[in-house]
Amino acid sequence: MEVQIERHLLQVNGLRLSLLEARPTDQRTQPALVLLHGFTGSALGWGPFLEEFAAAGWRVIALDLHGHGLSEAPADPRRYSMEHCRADLLEALRQLGIAPAQAILLGYSLGGRIALYCSFSGFFRALILESASPGIADPQERELRRRHDEALAASLEREGLAAFVTRWEQQPLFASQQRLPAEKRAALRAQRLANRPEGLAGSLRGVGTGVQPPLHARLPELQLPVLLICGALDEKFCAIGQEMAQRLPHATLAIVPEAGHTVHLEQPRRFAELVLSFCSSLPASDTPERQATSFQ
């Protein structure tokens, strides 16, 4: 199936947001699959999945998150907050003509945390979370993480992007990426280095795990079909996924062997199979009663 891929620059609530859209050229309407990348990533990081998901009949929309890719990097860290991310995402989708209950939302890591927060809006049809969490429940641990992220942001501003990316890549969380072919690791590093220091620093300060509202207590409220994906080599996020699966009313947990935090890079075939199988299994319209809730 022939696929068309376009770049859009939208003005959304006073902010420029960039996104890639991939869709089959021989279909007038398609259901939507919205992709949110991780920290230091961009829409380009989804690579061949854009075309593959579109060739399967989906209208694929991959955003550059605030401060990433070609999206604007506000000077005020508060503009990166979960509340702003949700409002901007929903407005961008409305500008693209996507109505409530038409789109499935998929988020990886940072994008997964944002996706989970946005899923309580009542706008989405289903949710896919890859290596994501509901935040940090303990206030003291959350404050420690906020200070850690502030120190990271300060080091990024002080030492520059290249040094920061090198430190970021050396985290134990990404150790399994060393199994990737050298050309894939080089492409991933180049994509990280294409971001701007001020955007990544703003993201750390404005939407880091230490400042986001924890969602653990709200998980039982979410009446959406949810697919949780994690890599077996990523023990921390497998444990988080198992806990989330127990709390979410309509969740399926998929633990992928021989993969760490970035399942979509380390086991791309299995990742695509899981996503497309889950999407195709959904009914034409929502069957579980959804509770459209909002944050105050």
- Tokens read off for 225: 């079909």
pLDDT at 285: 53
Q: Give the domains, in start order, of the chain with CATH numbers.
A: 3-281 (3.40.50.1820)
Q: What contacts 2, CB < 8 A, 6 or more positions away?
A: 24, 25, 26
- CA distances to 100, 174, 284 from 31, in Å: 11, 33, 10
Q: Give the integer Cα–Cα distance in Å for 119 and 139.
A: 23
pLDDT at 25: 85
pLDDT at 290: 39
12 phi, psi to nearest 5 deg: -125, 115
Measured from the Cβ of residue 39, the count of other Cβ atoms closer than 10 Å reads 21
Q: Give the integer Cα–Cα distance in Å for 5 and 23.
A: 7
pLDDT at 294: 33
Q: Give the integer Cα–Cα distance in Å for 278 and 31.
A: 14
- CA distances to 9, 35, 283 from 64, in Å: 10, 9, 29
- DSSP notation for 133-164: -----SHHHHHHHHHHHHHHHHHHHHH-HHHH
Below-50 pLDDT ranges, the chain = 286-296
pLDDT at 286: 46
pLDDT at 295: 28
CA 217 to chain centre: 21
In 3D space, the residue among 244, 279, 295 whose CA is nearest the CA of residue 106 turns out to be 279
Q: What contacts 178, CB < 8 A, 6 or more positions away?
A: 185
Q: Give the integer Cα–Cα distance in Å for 106 and 128.
A: 4
- What tens digit of pLDDT does each residue of 74-117 get? 999 999 999 999 999 999 999 999 999 999 999 999 999 999 99
pLDDT at 26: 77
pLDDT at 282: 94
pLDDT at 28: 66
